[in-house]
Chain A
Amino acid sequence: MPRARLRLVASEGEPLAPPSTPPVDDGRLLAAIRAGDQGAASELHDRLRPRVDRTIRALLGGGHPEHDDLAQQTFVEIVLSLERWRGECSLETWGATIAARTVWKFLRKRGLERRVFRDAGLGLAEPKAPSSARMLVARDVASRVRAHLDAMAPDKAQAFLLHDVCGFDAREVAGIAGISEAAAHARIARGRRELHERLAEDPDLRGVLLDLEDGG
């Protein structure tokens, strides 16, 4: 059961996050952070947070009770590993990679080898987007897809999520999972094949997926 967690937030005098700021050269931003500029660190956080959040949600599902803690760990790791970014990918991709690795380690540490996902409730901050029937159907479909992934071997399920949902290539998947690129290719292929077989054997879910496709 999740226990009470601490929340550190901005003091009363701090302004809202700016709605839009001019893009800052990535190298200069990281250099400022290395020099100890807390403002630059906050700016990096605001910039990478959406991608980090999406990555965690893609891997664990929405509303996971450890989401915020994992995001926080990700940003701490980002600060501690600034030197490793060589500019070969965007900062957003780099942040997403670290987030994925953080989630990967979390799952392994918690011994959730046979359970990739867990139920999650909604928090108070959940945006109250208009709930159309189509959105409700999509949410149900997502849950059912995740149930199939949950029944698969975690390495194959995670490989599929990292590659097909998060958009990492095989080399990146290998780096996140700590395996060779060849092994990553194999896991991705096996994960996709097994999920396809499961979906094909679930005519009801298959039909709903196809209906969503036809619906535009």
Chain B
Amino acid sequence: MTQRRSLIELAASVLSAEAERGPGATEDARAKASAAMGSALRRRQRSPRLRWAMAGTLAIAGAAAAVVLVGSRAPAPHETVSDPHPSPAPAAVDTSVATALASDAATRVRRGGSEIGLPPGQTLHAADRVVVGGHPVTLGLFRGTRLTLDPATELTLASGAPVFTFDLGSGGARADVAKLRGDERFVVRTADAEIEVCGTSFRVLRAEPRPSCGGGTTTRLIVLEGIVAVRSKGVETLVHGGESWPAGCAEPATHSPRPSAVALPKPSAAPAPSSAPAAAPTSHLAAENDMFARALAQKRAGDAASAVATLDELLALHASTTLAQSALAERMKLLYAIDPARGRAAALDYLTRYPNGFARSDAQVILEAR
């Protein structure tokens, strides 16, 4: 007869199982820890005596010391030339808002009266203004929150915790926001609208004003998941996943309103979406946004197959769309629900194209779930 385990053994087993089930380290956490190890390594190389001092400091100061190692990174004199991550100011952690996860060599950060680059790992502070170059830039914030900025976007990090506020001057951004706690808030402002979120994923774009769309607002919003509150002209509207704001606008999302060096493409042959007014799309980007929104609506309606078909059509018609990564990420998750084998193939395709993409964790979960 099998001996029944004691209550203590059962309790310990439950807690062990819970600890085992926890998620693996995110790419953010992994790189942060590796960077901290590198910093500690450099200190070891400089001074054997410093090793014991640092060990003592860590033992006493705990979390504050670890943050100093990562956050300030004021280079020692002999590191100035080779340090790839210059710290223009010994910024206190409390003023930090975000960190560059994936960047572009042409992207610049305007800070005070100066201008610096934005290499991966660079810290951004309140009041920094990011001017994106030719490739998307991804910023990491609290608890996995990410902002992906489209090329030629201008975004100012107006304030950090607890009210994270961003001013979108031009271009577009996708935000994947972790669930907020306490008095935290996450707000994106444009010239004529304010968007506030609570644990969701959305895209916000600047577009040319049209009187027939939202009373001439230059802001376009597509909510991918969750609920977003939009306040404009004294009116607050809740926009749900799969919906867009203003409703029914088939709008181009230029990097407006300044004159852009990128000419708008000729209108495509893609059919106007059913939710749009009769006016045909005036650019590829409008059709792309509409198709993506339609796919999300189909997903919310429980029609995964149709959502996949719409995303396939989007990717086939607009191979170079800025929504490609989002479309592939949604597609792999939908496919996995329908056919795990196809989902794994889609996840592998996603990782091949976007090895550091925002949905990398999802792709890896799909690939590992056998």
Residues on A facing B (Cβ under 8 Å): 1-12, 14-17, 33-34, 36, 38, 41-42, 44-46, 49-50, 53-55, 57-58, 61-63, 65-66, 68-73, 75-81, 105-106, 109, 121-129, 135, 138-139, 141-142, 145-146, 160-161, 164-165, 192, 195-196, 199-200, 206, 209-210, 212-213
Contact = CB atoms under 8 A, between A and B. Distances in A.
Nearest to B11: A145
Given A1-B184, A4-B96, A6-B96, A164 B59 contact: no
Contacts of B266: none
Contact of B62 (A8, A44, A106, A138): A106
B31, B39, B67, B183: residue with the most chain A Cβ atoms closer than 10 Å: B31
Contacts of B16: 58, 165
B66 interface: yes
B59 A105 contact: yes
A12 B33 contact: no
Contacts of A80: 40, 44, 51, 54-55, 58
B29 A68 contact: yes
A125 B8 contact: no
B12 A6 contact: no
B15 A68 contact: no
A34, A139, A209: residue with the most chain B Cβ atoms closer than 10 Å: A209
Contact of A42 (B37, B62, B141): B37
Given A38-B37, A105-B59, 16 more contacts: A1-B181, A3-B142, A4-B161, A7-B31, A8-B36, A9-B27, A41-B34, A58-B16, A70-B63, A72-B66, A73-B62, A80-B54, A127-B361, A142-B15, A192-B8, A209-B11
Interface stretch (B119-127, B254-262, B272-280, B292-300): B119-127
B241 to A, nearest CB: 15
20 contacts: A1-B183, A4-B161, A12-B103, A62-B18, A68-B28, A71-B29, A71-B33, A72-B32, A79-B44, A81-B55, A121-B179, A121-B181, A123-B26, A125-B144, A142-B17, A145-B11, A145-B14, A199-B7, A212-B14, A213-B4
A10 B31 contact: yes
A195 B11 CA distance: 9
Contacts of B184: 1
B7 A38 contact: no
- Label chain B's interface by main secondary structure: helix
Contact-size category for B: 35 or more
- Label chain A's interface by main secondary structure: helix
Contacts of B55: 77, 80-81
B22 A54 contact: yes
B216 interface: no
A203 to B, nearest CB: 11
B120 A11 contact: yes
Nearest to A128: B365
A119 to B, nearest CB: 10
B28 A2 contact: no
B7 A53 contact: no
B41 A36 contact: yes
Nearest to B37: A41
A79 B37 contact: yes
Given A16-B355, A124-B143, A54 B19 contact: yes
A7, A77, A105, A125: residue with the most chain B Cβ atoms closer than 10 Å: A7
Contacts of A68: 25-26, 28-29, 32-33
Contact of A7 (B12, B40, B67, B140): B140
B119 A11 contact: yes
B22 to A, nearest CB: 5
Contact of B123 (A6, A53, A129): A6
Nearest to B104: A12
A191 B40 CA distance: 37
B348 to A, nearest CB: 12
Contacts of A139: 18
B69 A76 contact: yes
